[in-house]
Amino acid sequence: MSSAVERTYDVVVLGAGSTGENLADIAVRGGLTAVLVESELVGGECSYWACMPSKALLRGTEALVEARAVDGAAQAVTGEQDVDATLARRNRFTSNWDDSGQVTWVDGAGIHLIRGTGRLAGERTVVVDTGAGEVRLTARHAVAVCTGSEAAVPPVDGLDAIDAWTPREATSAKEAPARLLILGGGYVGCEMATAWQALGSQVTLFQRGERLLDGLEPAAGEAVAASLRARGVEVRLGCEITAARRDGEGVVATTSHGDLRGDELLVAVGRRARTSDIGVDTVGLEPGEYLEVDDTMQVDGIPWLYAAGDVNGRRQLTHMGKYQARQAGAAIVARARGEEVSTADWSPFVATADHAATPSVVFTSPQIASVGRTVAEAEEAGLPHRVVEYPIGDVAGASLFADGYTGTAIAVVDTEREVLLGMTFIGPAVAELLQAATIAVVGEVPISRLWHAVPAYPTVNEIWLRLLETYRG
Amino acid sequence: MSSAVERTYDVVVLGAGSTGENLADIAVRGGLTAVLVESELVGGECSYWACMPSKALLRGTEALVEARAVDGAAQAVTGEQDVDATLARRNRFTSNWDDSGQVTWVDGAGIHLIRGTGRLAGERTVVVDTGAGEVRLTARHAVAVCTGSEAAVPPVDGLDAIDAWTPREATSAKEAPARLLILGGGYVGCEMATAWQALGSQVTLFQRGERLLDGLEPAAGEAVAASLRARGVEVRLGCEITAARRDGEGVVATTSHGDLRGDELLVAVGRRARTSDIGVDTVGLEPGEYLEVDDTMQVDGIPWLYAAGDVNGRRQLTHMGKYQARQAGAAIVARARGEEVSTADWSPFVATADHAATPSVVFTSPQIASVGRTVAEAEEAGLPHRVVEYPIGDVAGASLFADGYTGTAIAVVDTEREVLLGMTFIGPAVAELLQAATIAVVGEVPISRLWHAVPAYPTVNEIWLRLLETYRG
């Protein structure tokens, strides 16, 4: 083997998804040199196989649902959603799985890019197999692992042999399968069931658990299950898969509810860390495990090693990965300068929102938008709290938005500190309601002050007034 | 004249619009007795001739604009908006101008209602002409004037003789006039031009000033003018009316741009206080003028007299009237109990948001949502500030929401206190983005903390991250 090319950077970033890109960008803006190592497409999962394509698939359906819900406008919607045009729009949002635009951005940001498979090789060292040779990278200040996660495949007889869809295939499929089986009722399963049923598939969504969208407020999963069923999706709960096989007609899933048949089977049962083949063993860590980090994303016990995004297992959401990247990037820059890095809650160097105020939106119909603690989480944490619920459809702005608007807002209030701990909105188009709750939770704005945050009339946001009135009693 | 019926209440409220209803409700919840006096429909302007019908007229058009902006969904919108169904929906939202639902609510809230024309008659006294006699009301603790405002008619030759439309006729019209002239490019003029042009009228919007939506950020009026023109509205700025007359064909407005002809002329040039015929002279005030109040809505120099809502001229918006009613109601209850009433900013008894954080939404296309100080207002107040602008369409969530999304966010940041002073969103469907900004302004959440309020990806609210990044530079 010829000797490797050697290069030194202040910061070496493994993985050029949105997290890695942001972390490298912050480092360069802070005056450091940075290199991104990427074996697939620059831009990562979110750009090509997750957020962007899934939301592009869903948006048209949602826009039509909204128009059909307004008498007078509904009469104009006399045609059908154009599936080909919808898929073509999705393709545009993924740049047809071409990352040249992202590469241009990386270049313009002053970040170096090396394409190839990077692996840790001891302290501050990453070796990249570029296909045309090796590049040995040394990091003066930090190596940041931003390799993300990949779809987990459960140990089911035959499942690994049938070429099942992962979320990648589900978001990038070129046409709607006639019959789509979906294993797993988390947000991926629910979103993909919503999208493909609308685009022409007969979808069967099944899972072992009794509740969709587990981890969110129970009302969320109930609302989505009811809506999926109303749209023709077969939703099977308490339905355990025991084996899978392909036959001439497609895929057969053997389950506790009998055999389920489809043309494709999407497995969406969770994620696993992409750490199995990146040399974490060379620095004493366990391959395949999430990397444990502190709130600056520094890996426990290894001060030069950071892990941000899905790979640390904290909050597997694009926006939280980017947030962690901003905070970790700031910490790396400050430490490189010998500056003090406060690890106090809400400092510029820590990802406190990971614990206290993680927002998430499930783009189903109804949408589910939540931030902070659920009722169950407040209970588990032993926090003194009160739950306030209000039907969103009773707000004038919601009834104007859509005839028969049905939704619920669930607020969890800390009764000792009199601040909002969490909020869940269930209903059409609630995604954009969430930021208000996020700011209230993060800002720890007292309830007595929130009384002065008057919602404009008549908007759906008048739900805030109703919740506060209900809290006051 | 027979002797009047005499009754005594803790609180006498003149005017049963949304402000009066809320104030009476707070009083009754606080253990006081309250009576509402109303000469027209219970529920007031907002319910029958303003917010509700105008937004009902606009919503269908907006929903179709949104569906047409998504390739794939657009192909399903092959028909036209059904004008009759839209008008029928508007009628439902005004309960066909029948107030029995509101009367039921008032009754259920334990508030008395007297229909008739009420007038102040000296200290703590209101005399109501019920048509069938007089009722003399004495207030133990407070009289609250919530009579609102009415359309102002400018002193233009002939204008008072042509039966011009006020906003009442514009929101309640039973059909679209073929040609509609609108005098005044404030929010009423712009909303009604948007609504009726979409529902079949050829609208001409004209005003003396050079800028629509004066008082908001200049970019707001520019965006709305451009959009109205693109939809076929004739927008004439710097166009002064000098006379008006009816002729056989309809209405002729003589202007500095020549004669403008329409079937109807809507005059929407502002409001004036409804105080000309309510006996304010019996307590030493000037009829026809706005009632000057302190932050608890107490009329200057008359401790038993309150004025909330449009009639005090502070912030003529339904939601601010209701807010003032809540604060004034709390103050009246506390004072009746002999409790101390703090008049410090943001106390439960004062309407501080009137000065610092008044939200407003103009339901045009694009929508204009704003809160707090504009750039000009920050300058005028001599506040150290920085303006941060960002094109909303550059946010991934916005491009997913609508192809070619065009919009702007304008943030005004206090550079000394490092808090948000004001925010304006210009763009499709921005109405629901506003509450986040309202909470940030009201909560005085430091910019350094707002960094932790992570917007969910991919939503339009990611504009927050872009604004903060731009501010950081």
What are A228-253's pLDDT values in tens digits?
999 999 999 999 999 999 998 799 99
Q: Is A429 on the interface with B (CB under 8 A)?
A: yes
Which residues of chain A are within 8 Å of residue B74 when distances are taken between CB atoms? 82, 85
User: According to the model, what pLDDT value does residue B2 have?
Assistant: 53
Is the pLDDT score of A173 beyond 50? Answer: yes
Q: Report how many Cβ contacts below 8 Å link chain A to chain B.
A: 288
Q: How high is the pLDDT of residue B249?
A: 78
Contact call for residues B30 and B163 (beta carbons, < 8 A) = no
CA distance B438 to chain A (A): 6
Q: Is B128 on the interface with A (CB under 8 A)?
A: no
Confidence grade of residue B3 (pLDDT, cut at 50, 70, 90)? low
Chain B residues whose CB is inside 8 A of the A462 CB are 319
Contact call for residues B22 and B44 (beta carbons, < 8 A) = no
B440 touches A at CB < 8 Å: yes
Residue that has been written with the tokens 């031009």 in this structure: B193
Mutation choice for B interface testing from A333, A442, A457 by most B CBs within 10 A: A457
Establish if A404 touches chain B: CB-CB under 8 angstroms: no
The pTM for the full model equals 0.97
Q: How far is CA B185 from the centre of its chain?
A: 15
Mutate to test the interface with A, among B18, B25, B45, B59 (most CBs of A within 10 A): B59
Mean pLDDT of B427-453: 98
A343 has pLDDT over 70: yes
Amino acid at A463: I
Listed by number, the residues of chain A in 1-60 with a beta carbon closer than 8 Å to a beta carbon of chain B are 46, 51-52, 55-56, 59-60
Residues in chain A closer than 8 A to B450 (CB atoms): 439, 442-443
Q: Least CA distance to B371: which residue of chain A? A: A456
B79 CB neighbours in chain A (<8 A) are: 75-78
Q: Is B435 in contact with A453 (Cβ distance < 8 A)?
A: yes
Check residue B139 and give left, alpha or beta (phi > 0: left; psi -120 to 50: alpha).
beta
Token pair in block for residue B372: 């707090």
**Angle of CA points A131, A19, B386, to nearest 5°:** 135
Radius of gyration from C-alpha coordinates of chain B? 24
Report the C-alpha gap between A264 and A208 in whole angstroms: 19
Q: What are phi and psi of A451, to 5 degrees?
A: -55, -25
Q: A73 to chain B: which residues are within 8 Å by CB?
A: 59-61, 63-64, 81-82, 86
Across the interface, whether the CB atoms of B359 and A456 are under 8 A apart is answered yes
Whether A452 sits inside 8 A of B442 (CB atoms) is yes
pLDDT band, residue A25 (cuts 50/70/90): very high
Chain A environment of B51 (Cβ under 8 Å) = 396, 457-458
Convert the pLDDT of each residue in B191-219 to its tens digit.
Answer: 999 999 999 999 999 999 999 999 999 99
A63 touches chain B (CB under 8 A): yes
DSSP letter string over B237-262? SS--EEEEEEETTEEEEEETTEEEEE
Confidence (pLDDT) at B1: 47
Relative orientation angle of helices B18-29 and B100-108, to the nearest 10 degrees: 20
Average the pLDDT over A378-402 and give the result.
Answer: 98
What does the pLDDT average to over B388-406? 98
The model's confidence at residue A4, banded by pLDDT at 50, 70 and 90, is: confident
A3 Cβ contact partners less than 8 Å away, ≥ 6 residues apart: none
Average pLDDT, chain B: 97
Sign of dihedral through CA atoms A41, A45, A48, A52?
negative
**B396 inside 8 A of chain A by CB:** yes
CA distance A366 to chain B (A): 15
DSSP A271: E
Q: Which residue has the tokens 């619009």?
A: B17
Spell out the domains of chain A, with CATH numbers in brackets. 5-43+99-150+272-353 (3.50.50.60), 159-269 (3.50.50.60), 366-472 (3.30.390.30)
pLDDT of residue A425: 98
Q: Which amino acid makes up residue A375?
A: V
Question: Please, is B209 exposed, middle or buried when counting C-beta atoms within 10 Å of its C-beta (0-12, 13-18, 19+)?
Answer: middle
Mean pLDDT of A330-334: 98
Q: Tens of pLDDT along B305-342? A: 999 999 999 999 999 999 999 999 999 999 999 999 99
pLDDT digits (tens, 9 = 90+) for A320-330: 999 999 999 99
pLDDT bin (cut points 50, 70, 90) of residue A1 is very low
Residue B418 has pLDDT above 50, yes or no: yes
pLDDT over 70 at A269, yes or no: yes
Angle at the Cα of B43 (from B42 to B47), degrees rounded to 5?
135
- pLDDT score recorded for residue B473: 85
Taking an 8 Å cut-off on Cβ atoms, the answer to whether A460 and B61 are in contact is no
Which residues of chain B does A372 touch, with a Cβ-Cβ cutoff of 8 Å?
Answer: none
In contact, B84 and B174? CB cutoff 8 Å: no
Nearest CA-CA partner of B453 in A17, A444, A289, A126:
A444
Identify all chain A residues contacting B460, using CB atoms and an 8 Å cutoff.
432
CB B398 within 8 A of CB B382: no
Q: Is B457–A51 a contact, with Cβ atoms under 8 angstroms apart?
A: yes
Residue B159: is its pLDDT beyond 50?
yes
Interface test with A, best of B363, B418, B459, B464 (most A CBs within 10 A): B459
ipTM of this predicted complex? 0.97
Segment holding A187, helix H or strand E? helix A187-198
Query: Which string of DSSP letters, residue by residue, matches A147-175?
Result: --EEE-----BTGGGTT-B-HHHHHH-SS
Interface of B with A in 75-104 (CB under 8 A): 75-83, 85-89, 93
Taking an 8 Å cut-off on Cβ atoms, the answer to whether B70 and A52 are in contact is: no
Question: What residues contact B4, with CB distance under 8 A and at least 6 apart?
Answer: B127, B133, B134, B135, B136
Candidates B85, B318, B439; nearest CB to A450: B439
Q: Does the bond joining A366 to the residue before it have cis omega, within 30 degrees of 0?
A: yes
Contact indicator for B128, B118 with CB cutoff of 8 Å: yes
- Selecting from A69, A357, A456 the residue whose C-beta is nearest the C-beta of B431 gives A456
Distances (CA, A) of A391 to B59, B433, B444: 21, 20, 29
Provide, as residue numbers in chain B, all residues whose Cβ is less than 8 Å from the Cβ of A51.
Answer: 396, 457-458
Cβ of A459 within 8 Å of Cβ of B353? The answer is no
Among B72, B320, B442, the residue with its CB nearest the CB of A81 is: B72
Residue A438 sits at the chain B interface (C-beta within 8 Å): yes
Given an 8 Å threshold on Cβ–Cβ distance, is B86 in contact with A72? yes
According to the model, what pLDDT value does residue A248 have? 85
Tell me if chain B has a CB within 8 Å of the CB of A360.
yes
Helix (H/G/I), strand (E/B), else coil: B150:
strand
Residues of chain B positioned with their CB less than 8 A from the CB of A95: none
| pLDDT tens digits for range B102-117 | 999 999 999 999 999 9
Beta carbons of A70 and B60 less than 8 Å apart: yes
- Whether the upstream peptide bond of residue A458 has omega within 30° of 0, thus cis, is yes
Helix (H, G, I), strand (E, B) or coil at B124: coil
Question: What whole-number distance in Å separates Cα of residue B5 and Cα of residue B2?
Answer: 9
Q: Do A81 and B73 make contact, defined as CB atoms within 8 angstroms? A: yes
Shortest Cα–Cα distance, A112 to chain B (Å): 22
A468 reaches B (C-beta below 8 A): no
